[in-house]
């Protein structure tokens, strides 16, 4: 798919999903298409652009030239003169920025609800939180609007929303990606992070941001050793989550990894220092003076919970900070000693998936629970990688690998052991995005890949089913056919098997020939089922047929 085609698809998806709270600002479609044309020209001229044709979102505390940076507060907005370094590196690699995504204001929160631009609802269940603070970035990826997105992470903001929306979240070692052009939450702890639907793309984007840094050279031994928390520290998870984590541990052990239980109490105590100690004073240093001067806006443009946290952080003294630094050093030493000989720590990414109403009732308490396994990473200079690991109750469940600084590649290698094989599936009717059966694909972990078109030897029929479905049939030599538009989806192999097992007749899965000369598994129809069915081939696609039927349009012309 060319960059121009991908941009057009992104805007189409943006309009279809209708989730305005995900975005704070968007570039005009004409402007983005013009940039895409430039990317296509560079590729045609032989330029090597590893992210060419991919569309990105950028959290709105990261500068993008031409768009205001708000950090989630319109009153704070300013116009940056240039892209943040991370954005500049993405663009240089061919990625195209669609717009700026919503966030917990001033990157303060793990819930995704602390924004005057609206609470960002979860991509899977709009009654639940998206997770924050990089809420909009994670949801934009999960909804398929963008291929990847930039976030930031101080306490878990690049990992918690990844887990709750079923995408990958890479939190690099802090020294690998510059934070130039990023509004600080805690300047000494902040990281620029990457969200993507698949691990390979997330790691590719992370490598573009960090470059080929020779410090990130850790490799796994022949038999990797991974630590997991004791049962005591896995208590209080949402129903079914402990069991889901146990299944992940079994899967990882089955790949030849040695699993050891360790006491992570020192790490969890260190995590408590991020908000419960003097380190939070750095948030006051970042935006405290601004909030002080604009107290009249609290409850309006300034979120009350965020304002309370930041203003309260101004009461800590230098003596408090040095005391807490000393305590952190002791806890960090104890925690790393417990992990001695291990290549990573494996945990659930977070502890549960609250509803929006729960956060509204207890905004600080619920938020605090979400950071149990994430809050200590940046305090202790650790790398982390959050990956999807299945579903519990129809909602995504995710796990996280955490390791020493510059173990980023090793963590990715461990995560690859959990990556399930995937199968492509071409769909042409009721399973298309926005159609009534699309949720069946999503429920088994399916992800939209690209719009496709068959070779020109198929016919399409409207079947007498409920809900209405088309039947795709390939015609023989000499028979008139047409190229039929559809979508390519990627499903986990296990999910594909579950989906196919439940497929009712007359639908079948077979090899579908595409107009680029390739073939993929896709929806077909038993030929007997089209007897007496309405031939709608002339529309060259199910959506076009539905739109024409809705408008009362009759299309009796020949196939094109």
The residues carrying an active-site annotation are 59, 133, 157
Distance (Å, whole) CA 408 – CA 383:
6
Distance (Å, whole) CA 417 – CA 419:
6
Distance (Å, whole) CA 444 – CA 118:
29
Strands (E), 286-361: 344-348
Cis peptide before 467 (omega within 30 of 0): yes
> What DSSP line would sit under 484-545, residue for residue?
-EEEEEEEEHHHHHHHHHTPPTTEEEEEEEBTTS-EEEEEEE-GGGGTTPEE-GGGSSHHHH
Distance (Å, whole) CA 81 – CA 28:
19
The token pair at 522 is 């896709």
State the burial class of residue 178 (Cβ atoms within 10 Å of its Cβ: 0-12, 13-18, 19+): middle
Of 412, 489, 488, the residue nearest 445 (C-alpha) = 489
Q: Which long-range contacts (CB under 8 A, 24 or more apart) does 391-395 make?
A: 391/443, 391/445, 392/238, 392/239, 392/240, 392/241, 392/244, 393/239, 393/240, 394/124, 394/125, 394/443, 395/122, 395/124, 395/125, 395/128, 395/164, 395/353
The token pair at 207 is 């490598």
Asked if residues 422 and 491 have their Cβ atoms less than 8 Å apart, the reply is: yes
| Angular region, 45: left φ>0, alpha ψ -120 to 50, beta rest | alpha
The token pair at 206 is 């992370």
* Residues in the chain, total: 560
Distance (Å, whole) CA 227 – CA 379:
20
- Going across the sheet that includes 258-262, the strands are 23-26, 96-101, 55-59, 148-153, 191-196, 168-171, 383-392, 395-403, 344-348, 225-229, 258-262
Of 301, 426, 353, the residue nearest 138 (C-alpha) = 353
Asked if residues 138 and 161 have their Cβ atoms less than 8 Å apart, the reply is: yes
The token pair at 267 is 């790490």
The token pair at 123 is 């991509």
């Amino acid at each position: 798919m060319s960059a121009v085609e991908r941009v057009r698809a992104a805007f189409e998806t943006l309009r279809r999903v209708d989730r305005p709270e995900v975005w704070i600002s968007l570039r005009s479609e004409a402007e983005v298409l013009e940039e895409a044309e430039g990317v296509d020209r560079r590729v045609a001229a032989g330029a090597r652009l590893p992210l060419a044709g991919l569309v990105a979102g950028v959290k709105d505390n990261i500068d993008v030239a031409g768009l205001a940076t708000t950090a989630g507060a319109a009153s704070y907005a300013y116009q940056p003169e240039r892209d943040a370094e991370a954005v500049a590196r993405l663009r240089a690699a061919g990625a195209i920025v669609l717009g700026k995504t919503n966030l917990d204001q001033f990157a303060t929160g793990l819930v995704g609800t602390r924004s005057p631009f609206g609470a960002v609802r979860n991509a899977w269940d709009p009654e639940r939180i998206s997770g924050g603070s990089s809420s909009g970035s994670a949801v934009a990826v999960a909804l398929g609007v963008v291929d990847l997105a930039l976030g930031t992470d101080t306490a878990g903001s690049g990992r918690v929303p990844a887990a709750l929306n079923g995408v990958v979240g890479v939190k690099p070692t802090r020294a690998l990606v510059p934070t130039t052009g990023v509004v600080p939450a805690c300047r000494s702890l902040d990281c620029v992070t990457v969200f993507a639907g698949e691990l390979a793309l997330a790691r590719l984007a992370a490598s573009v941001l960090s470059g080929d840094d020779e410090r990130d050279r850790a490799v796994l031994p022949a038999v990797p050793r991974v630590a997991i928390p004791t049962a005591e520290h896995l208590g209080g998870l949402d129903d079914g989550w402990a069991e889901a984590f146990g299944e992940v541990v079994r899967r990882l052990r089955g790949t030849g990894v040695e699993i050891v239980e360790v006491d992570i109490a020192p790490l969890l105590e260190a995590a408590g220092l991020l908000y419960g100690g003097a380190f939070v004073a750095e948030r006051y240093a970042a935006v405290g003076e601004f909030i002080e001067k604009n107290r009249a806006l609290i409850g309006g443009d300034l979120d009350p919970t965020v304002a309370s946290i930041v203003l309260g952080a101004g009461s800590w003294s230098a003596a408090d900070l040095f005391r807490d630094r000393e305590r952190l050093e002791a806890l960090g030493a104890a925690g790393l000693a417990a992990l001695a000989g291990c290549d990573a720590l494996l945990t659930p990414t977070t502890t549960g998936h609250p509803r929006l109403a729960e956060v509204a009732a207890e905004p600080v308490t619920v938020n605090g629970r979400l950071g149990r396994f994430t809050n200590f990473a940046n305090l202790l200079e650790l790398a982390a990688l959050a990956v999807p690991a299945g579903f519990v109750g129809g909602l995504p469940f995710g796990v996280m690998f955490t390791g020493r600084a510059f173990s980023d590649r090793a963590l990715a290698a461990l995560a690859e052991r959990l990556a399930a094989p995937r199968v492509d599936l071409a769909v042409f009717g009721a399973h298309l995005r926005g159609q009534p059966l699309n949720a069946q694909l999503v429920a088994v972990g399916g992800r939209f890949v690209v719009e496709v078109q068959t070779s020109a030897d198929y016919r399409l029929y409207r079947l007498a089913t409920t809900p209405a479905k088309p039947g795709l049939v390939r015609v023989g030599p000499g028979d008139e056919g047409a190229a039929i538009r559809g979508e390519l989806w990627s499903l986990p192999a296990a999910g594909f098997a579950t989906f196919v097992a439940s497929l009712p007749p007359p639908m079948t899965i077979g090899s579908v020939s595409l107009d680029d000369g390739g073939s993929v598994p896709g929806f077909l129809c038993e030929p007997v089922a089209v007897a007496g069915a309405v031939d709608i081939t002339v529309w060259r696609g199910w959506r076009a047929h539905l739109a024409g039927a809705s408008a009362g349009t009759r299309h009796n012309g020949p196939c094109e």
